[in-house]
Structure 1
Amino acid sequence: MANKRLLNMQASDFLSFSPMELKQAILASEGRTIMAECVSTDQQQYLGGVTNAEIERAAGADLILFNALDVFDPYIAGVPDEIDENPVVWIKKAIGRAVGCNLEPVDQDANMMEAKTEIPVGRRVSPKTLERANELGLDFICLTGNPGTGVSNHAIEDAIKLAKRHFNGLLIAGKMHGAGVDEPVMNLQIAKHFVELGIDMLLVPAPYTVPYFQETDLREIVDYVRSRNQGKSIEEKVLVLTANGTSQDSSDVDTIKKIGLASKAAGADVQHIGDSFNGICVPENVFALGQAIRGRRHQLIMLSRSVIR
């Protein structure tokens, strides 16, 4: 599968790639990769008889990011009860796509702006959850925070160091919103700290999704990352992921397109779209984002390729 763009990948490619092959495939797709986030609980299942991940894949998602997945109890609503394998493996086969999950670096000493939300140990970063992520077959993890969880940038730095020792897949890190902590969400200084620790993908807010973060802020970070990437191997290069994770993933289609085009123009390699519509991204918005950043031809090809290819 060497030197294959993600745009040209089939289900069999996604099931057999190495982490660095996936990373190279994303880079080669020149800003036309979509990561859609979804929640796996019964209470946030969008439609009966099908997983949220399958819906997002059918709408145009290339990468699926599970949110609030307890890796010690990895239940995914809609996965058949009678399967003999863990639900992550089943999902990967069912959608023919790469799958990851959030793990949250909670800072017990964070300066909170709101009441703190406690989360299970299976959602927090630790050597055991990272090793369990390997056992489940997750292709990537995202070190980030949900609203009110007290995830700080300092805690993310510590988590990156831990994940480098315990996780085998791609490592994504950054905040898409404040997670309840009174600190800047992202700036060039924060980006430099994360990048120099050796992550695979830097998560930053998409323009217009958090206050004080515009296209110029994103471009400053992307210019730094691209300059640093020059002459480095794919293992050392860092990709940039822009996250629409502050409920604007359920905005009108025109807003989705504006955010998507602004992110692409500033240099994003991957565009994330969140799960605020009861645990899923509205399917028409995943589709609209794909239409905007890769056009109808690639959009329809990605949607149409069968998982048996």
Structure 2
Amino acid sequence: MVKRLISANATEILSMSATELKQSIKASEGRVILSENVAPRESYIGDITNSEMARAFGADLILLNGIDVLNPDVFAIGEYEGSFVNRLHELVGRPIGANLEPVDTSADMLEQREEIALGRQANVQTLKEIEKLGLDFVCFTGNPGTGVTNAAILETVKNAKEHYSGLIIAGKMHGAGVDEAVADLSAIKELIAAGADIILTPSIGTVPGFDKEELKEAVKLAHKEGALIMTAIGTSQEGSDVDTIKYMALQNKMCGVDIQHIGDAGYGGLAPVENIFAMSKAIRGQRHTVSMISRSINR
């Protein structure tokens, strides 16, 4: 039986299989935090990575945004041999994931499409590459204006099951420039049936009209089907005041979510560190926060 993530040492966490990591998150009972950061952007503290700062202030999982997995660039990572994922494992002792975007060129756009590099898109080549790199998880979602649709995410999940062995997170945290429902129960059920381990939905208070009742329905459906739920603050509200972050975090927890994501709209492509810390204290208290941030990655 695996140890819950919020109480596990780095050596225990990094030795977990995808199935064990999922169970470890579930056992943490809604107290897991994922911090998203822009990997290539110059960090707030210029000689250390955003990932190190996020971990130091309470992040359990690290999600890299804007990274071209075919030509990876992680600011301040320093020299390393082999996979940049292994190097980040050494630096933060936590599971590392990346966003890959299932771009739909036929999407009905609400705004001008933003073109992104092939290595940031979800395709067979990038799926094979993240398997080779050793990413612990992948997130299939869309940045603003990239034209990612629920249909494209679904097809990507199906393809990923053939080429990738890590945890799969899938869903939308906002519209990504497309005119469609962000959190749709039928889409969620299809994603789980296709192989998604964790369903991504917006946090309450982020997307207009998405409320607690809708989130509760998504949580109940995902849990019934054997998947987990991650809510995302991906609308630049990760840069709001501490009280807003705490309110969102507690409301999401009351709805039964398993992971809470905090986005990258802050100094140097990282949420303000005080907001990561505030989220941690709100959903798991002082004791577990201190345990997490002070536990040596050498254990």
Q: Structure 1 length as normaliser, TM-score?
A: 0.94
Residue aligned with 2:73, SS:
coil
Deviation at 1:95, TM superposition (A): 0.4
Aligned AA for 1:17? M
The answer for the alignment partner of 2:229 in structure 1 is 240
**Which of 69, 73, 76 matches 2:74?**
76
The separation in 2 between residues aligned to 1:3 and 1:78, in whole angstroms, is: 33
The answer for the alignment partner of 1:28 in structure 2 is 27
The CA RMSD measured in Å over matched residues stands at 1.0
**Which of 62, 87, 95 matches 2:92?**
95
User: Is contact 1:62–1:97 with CA below 8 Å preserved after alignment?
Assistant: yes
Residue aligned with 1:241, SS:
strand
Aligned AA for 2:65? N
1:162-201 paired onto structure 2 within 5 Å: 162-201=159-198
Aligned AA for 2:82? E
**Which of 267, 277, 284 matches 2:256?**
267
The separation in 2 between residues aligned to 1:196 and 1:15, in whole angstroms, is: 27
Identify the range of structure 1 (215-224 vs 101-110) with the bigger mean alpha-carbon deviation: 215-224
2:202 is equivalent to residue 205 of structure 1: yes
Residue aligned with 1:291, SS:
helix
Aligned AA for 1:98? P
The answer for the alignment partner of 2:118 in structure 1 is 121
Residue aligned with 1:203, SS:
strand
The separation in 2 between residues aligned to 1:175 and 1:184, in whole angstroms, is: 9
In the TM superposition, structure 1's runs of 4+ consecutive aligned residues that sit over 3 Å from their partners are none
The separation in 2 between residues aligned to 1:295 and 1:265, in whole angstroms, is: 15
The separation in 2 between residues aligned to 1:94 and 1:299, in whole angstroms, is: 19
The separation in 2 between residues aligned to 1:111 and 1:227, in whole angstroms, is: 32
- Aligned-residue identity in percent: 48
The answer for the alignment partner of 1:300 in structure 2 is 290
User: Is contact 1:177–1:245 with CA below 8 Å preserved after alignment?
Assistant: yes
The answer for the alignment partner of 1:38 in structure 2 is 37
Deviation at 1:146, TM superposition (A): 0.4
Aligned AA for 2:271? C
Deviation at 1:138, TM superposition (A): 0.4
The separation in 1 between residues aligned to 2:31 and 2:298, in whole angstroms, is: 23
The answer for the alignment partner of 1:62 in structure 2 is 60
Deviation at 1:143, TM superposition (A): 0.3
User: Is contact 2:68–2:117 with CA below 8 Å preserved after alignment?
Assistant: yes
Please list the CA deviations of residues 176-207 of structure 1 after superposition, one character each: whole Å capped at 9, or x if unmatched.
01110111111222222212222100000011
Residue aligned with 1:285, SS:
helix
Aligned AA for 2:56? A
Please list the CA deviations of residues 271-294 of structure 1 after superposition, one character each: whole Å capped at 9, or x if unmatched.
000001141111000000000000
Please list the CA deviations of residues 237-256 of structure 1 after superposition, one character each: whole Å capped at 9, or x if unmatched.
20000011110111100000
The separation in 1 between residues aligned to 2:52 and 2:67, in whole angstroms, is: 16
Gaps of 5+ in 1: 229-236
The answer for the alignment partner of 1:285 in structure 2 is 275
Deviation at 1:120, TM superposition (A): 0.4
The separation in 2 between residues aligned to 1:253 and 1:209, in whole angstroms, is: 15
The separation in 1 between residues aligned to 2:144 and 2:63, in whole angstroms, is: 16
1:102-113 paired onto structure 2 within 5 Å: 102-113=99-110
User: Is contact 2:199–2:222 with CA below 8 Å preserved after alignment?
Assistant: no
The answer for the alignment partner of 2:151 in structure 1 is 154
The separation in 2 between residues aligned to 1:74 and 1:135, in whole angstroms, is: 13
Deviation at 1:213, TM superposition (A): 0.4
The answer for the alignment partner of 1:142 in structure 2 is 139
Q: How many residues align?
A: 298
Residue aligned with 1:281, SS:
coil
User: Is contact 1:187–1:217 with CA below 8 Å preserved after alignment?
Assistant: no
The answer for the alignment partner of 1:11 in structure 2 is 10
Aligned AA for 2:36? E
Q: Structure 2 length as normaliser, TM-score?
A: 0.98
